[in-house]
Amino acid sequence: MGAVGGMLIGVALLLLSTFNPPAFAAVRGFFSEITTPVASGLTWVRGSVAGVPGGVSSYWNVRGENARLKKQIADDQLLVSRARTLNQENRHLREMLKLRDVSTDAVVAARLVASSLGSTRRYATLNAGGWQGVKTGQPVRQPDGLIGQVIETSPNTARVLLIVDPESIVPVRRTRDGLPAIATGRGDGLLDVRSASVATMIFQPGDTFVTSGTGGIFPPNIPVANVIRTSRDIAVAQPSANPDSLDFALVQQTFLPEPTPTPSPSPSAKPKAEKK
C-alpha cells in the first residue's frame, strides 16, 4: 500500500515537473523547507558522535603532554640548581686555592664535611688530619675570614671549634684605630665583642675587626667580625665568614711556632769506686 502511494506521488511530481515547472519548483521548495532542518540536525548529531573518540583521544594526549612538560620543567630546575651549586663551589675553591698560593703558612686546603648547626655548640669536621700536617691549635680560615681553630685530629679528619661557639675566644683589633678587643662566640651564629683594655671602648655599627696576633695562635689581619648593633661596652657582631655556608677551608700554621722543648740534662755518670 505504501509502495503504491509512493509510486503515485512520484508519477504526479513527474507530470507536474513536465507540464508545469513553476508549480513543481514551488512544491520542491516546500519539501526542502521541511527536510533541510531535519537533515542539518542529523548531520550535527552524526558529526558530534563521530568526534567523540577524537575528543577523548585529544584530551588524554593533552593531559599526557602537560604531565611530560611539567616533569621536564622540574628536571630542568633541578639541573639549574645543581649547576648553580657547582658554580658556587668552584668559585669558592678557586678563591681558596688562590689564598693558599699567596699564603706562606698554609698547611692544607680541605673540605668541611659536617658542622653542628642545630645546637649551641658549634663544631665542624675537616676532611684532612694528621697525615696531611694538621695539628691541634692551628687556625682555620676562608678567603672571607676566620672560621675557627683545630681542637682534635685523627689521621684523615680534624675537628674545628668555630669562632661562633661560646667556648671560642679570639683576640682582635678594630681596623680604624687598632684598639684591642676580644671576640667570643654566642652560640647563635653571632659574636660578642668586648674591649680588651681597662678603658671603655665605644663601638659603632659597621666597625670591623681583624685578628691581632696576640696570643700567638691566629695570624694577624684575618677578618673576623663586623658590628651590627651595640649595647654599652659590648657589641654584637656578624662573623666575616658565614658559618652556615662553609664548604672549603684553609688550615694555617700558628702565628708563633711552638717553643722548642728544652732537652733535659742527662744524668751524670757515677764515678767508679777506686780500687784499694
Across the range 178-182, mean pLDDT stands at 92
| pLDDT on residue 240 | 94
Residue 159 or residue 275, greater confidence: 159
C-alpha cell at 72: 621536564
Spatial contact of 138 and 149, defined as CB atoms under 8 Å apart: yes
Q: What is the mean pLDDT of the chain?
A: 77
To 5 degrees, how large is the angle CA 189–CA 190–CA 193?
155
CB-CB contact of 140 with 159 (8 Å)? no
Measuring CA to CA, which residue among 135, 171, 241 is closest to residue 126?
135
Contact predicate 151/168, CB 8 Å: no
Fold of 105-252: Thrombin, subunit H (2.40.10)
More confident residue, 3 or 252: 252
pLDDT of residue 11 exceeding 70: no
| pLDDT for 161 | 94
Across 88-125, b (16+ Cβ under 10 Å) vs e yields eeeebeeebeebbeeeeebbbbbebeebeeeeeebbbb
Give the model confidence (pLDDT) of 209-258 as tens digits. 999 999 999 999 999 999 999 877 789 999 999 877 778 889 999 988 76
Q: What is the DSSP string of 202-268?
A: ---TT-EEEE--TTSSSPTT-EEEEEEEEETTEEEEEESS-GGG--EEEEE--SSPPPPPPPPPPPP
What one-letter code names the amino acid at 5?
G
* Highest averaged pLDDT of the listed ranges 37-46, 70-79, 125-134, 199-208: 125-134
Using one digit for the tens of pLDDT, what is the confidence trace for 111-149?
A: 888 776 656 688 999 999 999 999 999 999 998 999 999
Between CA 200 and CA 128 the distance in angstroms is: 42
What is the per-residue pLDDT for 74? 75
Average pLDDT over residues 145-173: 94
Instruction: Please give the model's pTM, rounded to 2 decimal places.
Output: 0.62
Read off the C-alpha cell for 251.
688550615
Amino acid at 104: T
Nearest in space to 147 (alpha carbons), one of 92, 204, 104: 92
**172 pairs with which residues across the strands?**
181, 211
Give me 19's grid cell: 507540464
Q: Is the pLDDT of residue 20 over 60?
A: no
- The pLDDT value recorded for residue 46 is 65
- Cα dihedral 21, 25, 26, 31 in deg (nearest 10): 140
Tell me how many helices (H) and strands (E) the chain has: 2, 12
pLDDT in tens, 28-65: 565 666 666 665 666 666 666 565 566 666 766 777 77
Residue 57: predicted pLDDT: 65
Predicted pLDDT at 247: 81
DSSP state of 132: G
* pLDDT tops 70 at residue 13: no
* Amino acid 276: pLDDT: 45
| Amino acid, single-letter form, for residue 274 | E
* C-alpha cell belonging to residue 161: 671549634
pLDDT band at residue 105 using 50, 70 and 90 as cut-offs: confident
* Whole-angstrom distance, CA of residue 213 vs CA of residue 180: 11
